[in-house]
Structure 1
Amino acid sequence: MSFTLAIVGRPNVGKSTLFNRLVGRRLALVDDQPGVTRDLREGEARIGDLRFTVIDTAGLEEATDESLQGRMRMLTERAVEMADICLFLVDARAGVLPADEVFADILRRKSAHVILAANKAEGNAADAGVLECYALGLGEPIRMSAEHGEGLNDLYTQLSPLAEQFEARAAKDAPDVDVDVDEDGEGDSRTFSDTKPLQVAVVGRPNAGKSTLINQLLGEDKLLTGPEAGITRDAISTQFSWKGTPTRIWDTAGMRKRAKVQEKLEKLSVSDGLRAVKFAEVVIVLLDVNIPFEQQDLRIADLAEREGRAVVIAVNKWDLEGEKQDKLKELKEEFARLLPQLRGAPLITVSAKTGRGMDRLHEAVLRAHSIWNTRISTARLNRWLTGMLEVHPPPAPGGRRIKLRYMTQVKTRPPAFVVMCSLPEKLPDSYRRYLINGLREDFDMPGTPIRLTMRSQADKNPYKSKKKSTPSRLRKHLGKKPHGE
């Protein structure tokens, strides 16, 4: 990416719509009501031959206190300071409002490069609003329609000369990427890089501390936080170096019970979080120590397991707990009882506010990813299967013994195995669980989802259905006449 472009403006002027247009996908939530976007969302944008990073920001509010709107404004102002270029969006149909004049003054002071654009400018009804934009003192406005894709050529014309300056700067300060690492360690052989980072999603119920946890890992208040539940709406991804590991981490909206999710906007937020789980390799399920393992927590953890992702359970707000040893013992017992499908997954206690437990969380995530990539040779699997059959033979429904002939691994991420056997449809689930638990223990794969498929082996003997007959040479030697003579 040669430069960074931040889209700023009042609420509901079309910033997220333009963001989606530039990245070519519906990444940001869009709705008619103002204030949908609250966090900073980054994406890889493209206009013609220009490639750059675009940031979607929350609507600039006039509040400056510690309220939600005030914190949203501070977050947007920080994005203005970070970005190379600011695209100031004004609603051409509403015209220039007093708030636009205030924010234009802020941009003149905080950003060296500001581009003014009048959005929703299709049709004659927007002519008066476009003319009013000249009074802001930011130069000639670009007449745009983010919804219909109009005005992108004019935006390209203004960005091109600036892009050349930033490309020269980026070439000078480009960091080393794709550096070889020591591969003598056990586990995942994949080397993480800036182009292929470790993908992590943080999920949980509202107000569990997901955004605070990610801010702690980033070392800065990049994500909006506060005592209010449900602040995060978009699934926001951020790339950073986590103790030397290139990582892309997703902050997701809190997931409530389906019966309580009534508003269209919250439904969009939850679906965006589910999409982040599908893109992730490791899912951190964040629990609140005061109310851990509620029904919704179990559903979220089960969702990550069904999606085949490596899972790490993190219990937040550990600094508020008094009887830590007794509480930890209770948590482990509840985890083993309520989530048997994730038996052995790491359970880490953390404090997103103070930063306690972040080292152990990093180690647990890398360990879970390594197990998720486990590869076992066919020879080892079949020796293991023979031993498991000797200890506990499969049942014999109707007097016919089910024969498990051989076993092989067909996939990783997560580990998937196929067992060739007779009568696979009659093998009970209890015996399949017996094999899965044995794989976890004997091959050191705690917590990761394991896929085990029983498959019927087709008999490939072409002579099985034919009657036995005496070879022609032998018939001649014995003096027997061939059939039909």
Structure 2
Amino acid sequence: MDMPTVAIVGRPNVGKSTLFNRLVGRKLALVDDRPGVTRDRREGDVAFGGLKFRVIDTAGLEDAAADSLTGRMRLQTEAAILESDVVLFVIDARAGVLPADRAFAELVRRSGCPVILIANKAEGTGGLSGAYDAFSLGLGDPIPFSAEHGEGVGELHTALQEVLPEPDDEDEEDDDPRGKALRVAIVGRPNAGKSTLINRMLGEDRLLVGPEAGITRDSISLDWEWRGKRIKLHDTAGMRRRARIDDKLEKLAVSDGLRAVRFAEVVVVLLDATIPFEKQDLTIIDLVESEGRAVVIGLNKWDLVAEQPGLLKTLREDCTRLLPQVRGVGVVPLSGLAGEGIDKLMQAIMAASDVWSRRVSTSRINDWLNEATSRNPPPAVSGRRIKIRYATQVKSRPPHFALFGNQLDALPKSYTRYLVNSLREAFDLPGTPIRLSLRTTRNPFDKS
């Protein structure tokens, strides 16, 4: 897995560069009491208590015209947010939450990236009250922090551990001729047959199984190999609707399963073929898509329904109708108990991983954009037609595209759906989540 990226953002002079220096362990970034010292993005590699990531120090976010120096600095920061896996949003606890903090917090929230809120300069009682004020930003619990004195480092490590992939002996993997292990999580409702399937894949009774629902509690990680490719399998607890979970231990088990989903690259959602596409199945698939993981649907216990003519075709049509957000997702009939369909499941997993990691050149994307907007032009708003001028892919895993133009915040959802479906078809991106960011060229904070 590529090294994840963490961006440090916030207003000028809230202590971003001091935090950057503390994370990288060296004074790489220039630090001064004057605001606006940092202009370009500065990057550094971090090894932080077993976590490994690349951190980006950004210019302070300021409201300014797009063509000014400050405006261009802000665009650089916005680009860093788009390219990052986690955002550290920093405020000055001594100054409290300012109106600009609220505007920029909304910008970060719209990015869809996991956010850790840091109330810096929180040493002393005055700073602590400002840290509590940061709850009002709606970005979760703030971490009272002092980048200068190193206070709050343990809490930051814990928060990063929740959202960053676990390192798994990177050095050993780099030396392994088989390459890095592909992380695959198996999820589904209780008693869908997840542990039975994994036992068949491993060729041994490694996991406890039985007719009772909810046997698996921990998310179990297991090493396996398929056709010379290293696989790290994660078995997870069955996921029921939260309203029906009373037991504290089961709540912890489901939470552990969600963490496995976040750290996986491909997630197999296992359905019981005798009662497929229950409401909870759709909720689980929606969760996996919202986390941006590659998806494969496994129809387990297929041996019990295989005699029904046309059933597979019907279920694939149901999948297209019920799950438009992962249109074209692989649907594989299998039987964990009988050991049937495992090879086809693995082929679908490898295909989903390839699509999830795909990158498309900017020239091809803009050729697509010209054709898509010519075939179906964007609508007009208040007599002025919305114009999409430019498009590029900012990330893969999952494919994430950014569109630039005027009045894009007024694009109706039906048109963005059209664009996503068109991207999926044009660049052969079946089943994978697709992210689309709309970047208007006017000042996003101008309310006039």
Q: What TM-score range do you get, normalising by the shorter chain?
A: 0.5 to 0.7
1:225 lines up with 2:209 in the alignment: yes
Q: In structure 1, what is the Cα distance between the partners aligned to 2:285 and 2:173? A: 37
Secondary structure of 2:377's aligned partner: coil
Secondary structure of 2:310's aligned partner: helix
1:385 lines up with 2:383 in the alignment: no
Question: Relative to 1, partners in 2 of residues 1:254 and 1:399: Cα closer, same or farther, differing over 3 Å?
Answer: same
Secondary structure of 1:230's aligned partner: coil
1:361 lines up with 2:345 in the alignment: yes
Give the conservation status (yes or no) of the 8 Å contact 1:404–1:419: yes
Q: 2:231 aligns with which of 247, 252, 276?
A: 247
Aligned residue in 1 for 2:140: none
Displacement of 1:322 in angstroms is 4.3
Q: 2:386 aligns with which of 402, 406, 415?
A: 402
Displacement of 1:240 in angstroms is 1.3
Q: 1:292 aligns with which of 276, 294, 301?
A: 276
Give the conservation status (yes or no) of the 8 Å contact 2:173–2:181: no
> Which aligned pairs between 1:200-349 and structure 2 lie closer than 5 A?
200-349=184-333
Identity %: 58
> Which aligned pairs between 1:451-466 and structure 2 lie closer than 5 A?
451-458=435-442
Aligned residue in 2 for 1:438: 422
TM-score, normalised to structure 1, is 0.55
Q: In structure 1, what is the Cα distance between the partners aligned to 2:258 and 2:173? A: 33
Question: Relative to 1, partners in 2 of residues 1:268 and 1:175: Cα closer, same or farther, differing over 3 Å?
Answer: closer
Q: In structure 2, what is the Cα distance between the partners aligned to 1:220 and 1:266? A: 26
Structure having the higher Rg: 1
Give the conservation status (yes or no) of the 8 Å contact 2:187–2:267: yes
Displacement of 1:323 in angstroms is 3.0
Give the conservation status (yes or no) of the 8 Å contact 2:292–2:397: yes
Displacement of 1:175 in angstroms is 12
Displacement of 1:245 in angstroms is 1.1
Displacement of 1:458 in angstroms is 4.8
Q: In structure 1, what is the Cα distance between the partners aligned to 2:307 and 2:173? A: 46
Q: In structure 2, what is the Cα distance between the partners aligned to 1:283 and 1:356? A: 19
Q: In structure 2, what is the Cα distance between the partners aligned to 1:289 and 1:237? A: 25
Give the conservation status (yes or no) of the 8 Å contact 1:315–1:349: yes
Q: 1:178 corresponds to which letter in structure 2?
A: D
Q: In structure 1, what is the Cα distance between the partners aligned to 2:313 and 2:366? A: 37
Q: In structure 2, what is the Cα distance between the partners aligned to 1:327 and 1:336? A: 14
Give RMSD over aligned pairs: 1.8
Secondary structure of 2:223's aligned partner: strand
Q: 2:181 aligns with which of 158, 180, 197?
A: 197
Q: In the TM superposition, what whole-angstrom CA distance separates every residue of 1:293-323 from its partner, at most 9, and x where no partner exists? A: 0000000000000000000000000111143
Q: 1:447 corresponds to which letter in structure 2?
A: G
Give the conservation status (yes or no) of the 8 Å contact 2:299–2:331: yes
Question: Relative to 1, partners in 2 of residues 1:322 and 1:360: Cα closer, same or farther, differing over 3 Å?
Answer: closer
Q: 1:412 aligns with which of 396, 401, 409?
A: 396
Q: In structure 2, what is the Cα distance between the partners aligned to 1:328 and 1:207? A: 21
Q: In structure 2, what is the Cα distance between the partners aligned to 1:384 and 1:259? A: 45
Q: In structure 2, what is the Cα distance between the partners aligned to 1:408 and 1:245? A: 32
Aligned residue in 2 for 1:178: 176
TM-score, normalised to structure 2, is 0.59
Q: In structure 2, what is the Cα distance between the partners aligned to 1:325 and 1:374? A: 36
Q: In structure 1, what is the Cα distance between the partners aligned to 2:346 and 2:308? A: 21
Displacement of 1:436 in angstroms is 0.4
Dislocated runs of 4+, deviation >6 Å: none
Aligned residue in 2 for 1:352: 336
